[in-house]
Chains A and B, each alone.
Chain A
């Protein structure tokens, strides 16, 4: 278990440092434009965590980020970039809602499960079939295909509610779908009124459980073994008898399953109907979530909460201190930069070593411990 903690520490330490750097530099930026960084950050933190309501809002916002981030992390582990999670999220949301306002004769729990499963399946198909198959058999790059499928998915969902006679549109002047059946709405996270107001549903429990499932899937099953092997070294995987194309399709599919689940959870737990909220872009923020978590499932929980906090806290920050909420975008950008820069550190170190040969060099060159 020693190894477990060492790994945990290693995977938390650097992202923490990256976030810290970003916050410090963000503070300098704030000071430079004439605000007190302490006040600004204070309002950001109190806006995100200051009371139960704010905490609930933050956690509610974190739920889809964690779920999508987990899916993206799985893809990353297999060396694949699922950039199109946003579309998978929306397709999943659409199917969940559709199931949610049909089958109204079903009792609550089966109906909920059916709706979530439908969302997961839709997200999985959206992420897995076209990007997965074209990657595996034609070599099409998944960055391009997941992205393009994402746009198709978002526009498809928009089409479903946008026009007056759109297939899923509820008659009326707003572009919304009919609401899901009352008994398919997810219960509150904890039976507290304040969490109900903050729209924090049991979806968070689902997200937390999903992180455990992903960790077990990756570390404890032969499936995860093969996903990781393919991610690290395709040639050795082929040699090991792993069907690399199959695992490419499966991994992208499962990545989409989590995005679809996020969509379903969000609809059943928060929105209860499709509406024109396409600007949320959870699918893109989740890429950063998984990046900051270094593809560690438990890290996804922390970084999901962190980015949700930036969002909810940012609004409070704008009201209290007058700094534009887009400062949080600056922080996000800085964090991405420093997380990426962390990968740069070994490169820089190697470069410095080459610049001063003889002072410090690869001890591995002349490994003294050859048996």
Chain B
């Protein structure tokens, strides 16, 4: 059977990097085909080649049996390729219909808004997207905005749909709804190319999967016959531990004690509204929640970056609610902030300076106000060795490192301080399987060594696999605290929407 879209031996080099090396891909009509690979494996280069953003150095791209030479996305769209980018390109102030037709509006000189609404509504019904064409984009959830992007593709008569990391910003429920949409598209015979680095999703939605590694397509296999472990090994090129084995926690004293905490965010809105919980030595307390529900304001307040509006924070029995960030650092609090480039690092500083960023005040990194470069350099070298930071050059500027290595530098810095309390926000965001494994191991190791770990993540799987107890935050309030041993995905997912579990809360050694 003739492939609908075929990529044959496509090669694309950038100065110093062979981003795609004789890549092959064949997408059959009516199949959902996943492309699985770590960050940097060449997935997005391949997508950009197919979408006309890049031109291949060698090889060819064939659509319905014809060789294509796209010079720009415009050519690709005209040929029937629809792409939904990870970051949406929508205008919040305009309606759904306006956004969909933008650039190809019905009507001649006068924009025929009624016609636009009619057409968009018809498309929405045809593909079962259930979007109101007259709603403002700004008022829609992320999941619905994504559907508008899909509508945009079909309005431009897409014959094939490419979804680039489509679930990165979605809640579990929204992800499930997206999968419904994809299944419906498939039933209508529309092939879908699904880019992801998440194994579970690929296994849930795809018919076949092409694994990419280091710029090459390693293998294409039917999903039905492949286990998660096999796929992970293909992706990384070695055996990977997917589920971290961990001993049951042996929690000790309460290290962090948050009582009735309220925090006002930068936008002057009350983002945390009376939250109480404690984190014990030797346990990982996971804070689950949909983005924007106050979890990051909560940890910023614990770290001293946002003011405590009400309530109190105790560290090892001492009230630290009004201490400065520097005092909290000195008290043994470590913090891996969610935005590594904006908060965690000074990108213009070299790795030595970044390694001592939070400890430059103390010996041996400074004496009486004088920086001591040599001890700092040695310390950095040790950490780079232990955490496998690459390239292993401590005089590189932090901005020159890849995201995974930047994260390793931050984690190394925070962990090396032997903290009483380690706060980690989104520690593996955007990282690949291999790097995630290493970071998860380190967190478990710290827990076993008696550190109290407060983990905030938008990845439910991360929360579930690492935490000992899970607090679910919704709209600035802690809906419930459950034991990770008994918690299920569905239960947490429901709590994340603010729905209290029917059985009532299970208070697990919550002091």
Binding site for B on A (CB under 8 A): 3, 219-226, 228-229, 232-233, 235-243, 357-358, 360-363, 365-371
Q: Known contacts A222-B361, A238-B305, A239-B337: does B343 contact A366 (CB below 8 Å)?
A: no
Smallest CB separation, A239 vs chain B (Å): 5
- A223, A228, A235, A236 interface centre (most CB from chain B within 10 Å): A236
Query: B18 contacts A371, CB within 8 Å?
Result: no
B358 contacts across to A, CB distance below 8 A:
239-241
CB-defined contacts of A237 to chain B, threshold 8 Å? 346
Q: How far apart sit A239 and B388, CA to CA, in the bound complex (Å)? A: 24
Beyond A238-B305, A367-B17, 20 extra complex contacts between A and B, CB < 8 Å? A222-B369, A222-B370, A222-B371, A229-B346, A232-B348, A232-B349, A233-B342, A237-B346, A239-B337, A240-B325, A240-B357, A241-B361, A363-B16, A366-B42, A368-B18, A368-B215, A369-B402, A370-B39, A371-B404, A371-B405
Q: How far is the CA of A367 from the CA of B357 in the complex (A)?
A: 26
CB-defined contacts of A236 to chain B, threshold 8 Å: 342-346, 357
Which residues of the other chain, B, contact A357 by a CB distance below 8 angstroms? 53-55, 72
Q: Is the CB of A371 within 8 A of B434?
A: yes
Question: Smallest Cβ distance from B331 to chain A, in angstroms?
Answer: 11
Give 1 or 0 for each of B323-356: 1 = CB within 8 Å of chain A CB.
0111111000001010000111111110001000
| Contact B344 A239, beta carbon cutoff 8 Å | yes
Give the residues in chain B near A361, CB-CB below 8 Å: 14, 54
* Cα of A235 to Cα of B341 in the assembled complex, Å: 10
For residue B38, which residues in chain A have a CB less than 8 angstroms away from its CB? 370
Say yes or no: is B421 at the interface (Cβ < 8 Å to chain A): no
A-B contact count (CB 8 A): 124
Query: In residues 395-410 of chain B, which contact A (Cβ within 8 Å)?
Result: 395, 402, 404-405, 408
- The residues of A that contact B42 with a CB separation of less than 8 Å are 366
B304 and chain A: residue at smallest CB distance: A241
Q: CA–CA, A229 to B357, complex, Å?
A: 9
Main secondary structure, interface of A, reads helix
Pairs A-B, 3 closest by C-beta atoms: A241-B326, A370-B40, A366-B19
The answer to whether A370 and B16 have CB atoms under 8 Å apart is no
Q: Is B483 positioned at the interface, with any CB of A under 8 Å from its CB?
A: no
Q: Bound state CA distance, A362 and B343, in angstroms?
A: 24
Within 8 A of A (CB), among B8-63: 14-19, 38-40, 42, 44-45, 53-55
A226 to B358, CA, bound (A): 11
The chain B residue with its CB closest to the CB of A369 is B390
Contact in complex: B432, A370 (CB < 8 Å): yes
The residue of chain A having its C-beta at the shortest distance from the C-beta of B18 within the complex is A368
Contact across chains for B44 and A365 when beta carbons are under 8 A apart:
yes
Please name all residues of chain A whose beta carbon is closer than 8 Å to the beta carbon of B272 when the two chains form the complex.
none
CB distance from B477 to the nearest CB of A (A): 26
Alpha-carbon distance between A346 and B404 when the two chains are bound, in angstroms? 26
Q: Report 11 cross-chain contacts, Cβ distance below 8 Å, ordered by A residue.
A: A233-B348, A235-B342, A239-B305, A239-B344, A240-B357, A241-B324, A363-B15, A366-B42, A367-B40, A371-B389, A371-B435
Q: Which of B110-148 contact A (CB under 8 A)?
A: none
Q: Is the CB of A366 within 8 A of B44?
A: yes
B389 to chain A: closest residue by CB: A371
Q: CB-nearest residue of chain A relative to B38?
A: A370
Interchain CB contact under 8 A, A220 and B18 = no
Assembly CA distance A182 to B305 (angstroms): 56
Q: Let me know if B155 is at the binding interface, CB within 8 A.
A: no
- Chain B 364-387 per-residue mask, 1 if CB under 8 angstroms from chain A, else 0: 001001110000000000000000
Residues of A within 8 A of B369 (CB): 221-223
> Shortest beta-carbon distance, B484 to chain A, in Å?
29
**Inter-chain contacts of A241 with B (CB < 8 A):** 324-329, 358, 361
Q: In the complex, A238 Cα to B326 Cα: how many Å?
A: 9
- A366 to B357 CA separation, bound complex (whole angstroms): 28
- Provide the residues of chain B in CB contact with A242, threshold 8 Å: 326
- B379 CB to closest chain A CB, in angstroms? 15
- Give the Cβ gap from B474 to chain A, nearest Cβ, in Å: 26
CB proximity of B61 to chain A, nearest CB, Å: 13
Chain B proximity of A3: nearest CB distance (Å)? 6
Complex contacts, A226 vs chain B, CB 8 Å? 360
Closest residue of chain B to A371 (Cβ to Cβ) is B390
Q: Taking the nearest CB of chain B, how far is it from the CB of A15, in angstroms?
A: 19
B346 touches A232 (CB 8 A): yes
Among A222, A363, A366, A369, the one with the most B-chain Cβ atoms within 10 Å of its Cβ is: A366
Distance in angstroms from B40 CB to nearest chain A CB is 4
Chain B, Cβ-Cβ closest to A361:
B14
**Contact residues in B for A238 (Cβ distance below 8 Å):** 305, 325
Interface string of B444-488 (1 = CB under 8 A from A): 000000000000000000000000000000000000000000000
Bound together, the chains give a CA A239 to CA B18 distance in angstroms of 38
The CA-CA distance from A3 to B369 in the complex, in Å, is 23
Smallest beta-carbon distance B287→chain A, Å: 19
Q: Is B391 an interface residue (CB 8 A)?
A: yes
B262 at the interface (CB under 8 A from A): no
Q: Assuming A222-B360, A371-B434, is B347 touching A232 (CB within 8 A)?
A: yes
How far is A223 from B369 in the complex, measured between Cα atoms in Å?
Answer: 7
Q: Are B344 and A363 closer than 8 Å at their CB atoms?
A: no
CB distance from B435 to the nearest CB of A (A): 7
Determine whether B214 belongs to the interface, using a CB cutoff of 8 Å to chain A: yes
Complex alpha-carbon distance, A140 and B432, angstroms: 43
In the complex, chain B residues whose CB is within 8 Å of the CB of A367: 17, 40, 402
With both beta carbons as reference points, the residue of chain A lying nearest to B300 in the complex is identified as A239
Give per-residue flags for B209-230: 1 if the beta carbon is below 8 A from chain A beta carbons, else 0. 0000011000000000000000
Across the interface, do B349 and A360 meet the contact criterion of CB distance under 8 Å?
no
Chain B nearest CB from A371 CB (Å) reads: 5
- Also in contact, A225 and B371, with CB within 8 A (given A236-B343, A239-B344, A370-B40): yes
Q: Which residues from A are CB-within-8-Å of B435?
A: 370-371
Closest A residue, CB atoms, query B404 = A370
Are B391 and A369 in contact, CB atoms less than 8 angstroms apart?
yes
- How far apart sit A253 and B215, CA to CA, in the bound complex (Å)? 53
**Closest chain B residue to A366, Cβ basis:** B19
**Which chain A positions have C-beta within 8 A of B348?**
232-233
Q: When the two chains form their complex, are residues A220 and B370 in contact, meaning their CB atoms are under 8 A apart? A: yes
Q: What's the least CB distance linking B215 to chain A, in Å?
A: 7
Q: Are A233 and B390 in contact (CB under 8 A)?
A: no
Q: Which residue of A lies closest to B342 (CB)?
A: A235
The one of A220, A235, A243, A362 that contacts B14, using a Cβ cutoff of 8 Å: A362
Shortest Cβ distance from residue A115 to the other chain B in the assembled complex, whole angstroms: 28
Q: From A237, which residue of chain B is reached at the shortest CB distance?
A: B346
Determine the distance from Cα of A3 to Cα of B395 in the docked complex, in whole angstroms: 8
Residues of chain B contacted by A233 (CB below 8 angstroms): 342, 345-348
B398 to chain A, nearest CB (A): 10
Instruction: Report chain A residues within 8 Å CB of B39.
Output: 370
Residue-wise, chain B 245-270 has the 8 Å CB interface mask toward A (1 for contact) of 00000000000000000000000000
Contacts A221-B370, A363-B17 given: A239-B343 contact, CB under 8 Å? yes
Q: Which residues of A contact B329 (CB under 8 A)?
A: 241
Nearest-neighbour CB distance to chain A for B359, whole angstroms, equals 9
B40 contact set on A, CB distance < 8 A: 366-370
Residues from chain A with Cβ under 8 Å of B391 in the complex: 369
Closest A residue, CB atoms, query B19: A366
Q: Which residues of A contact B19 (CB under 8 A)?
A: 365-366, 368
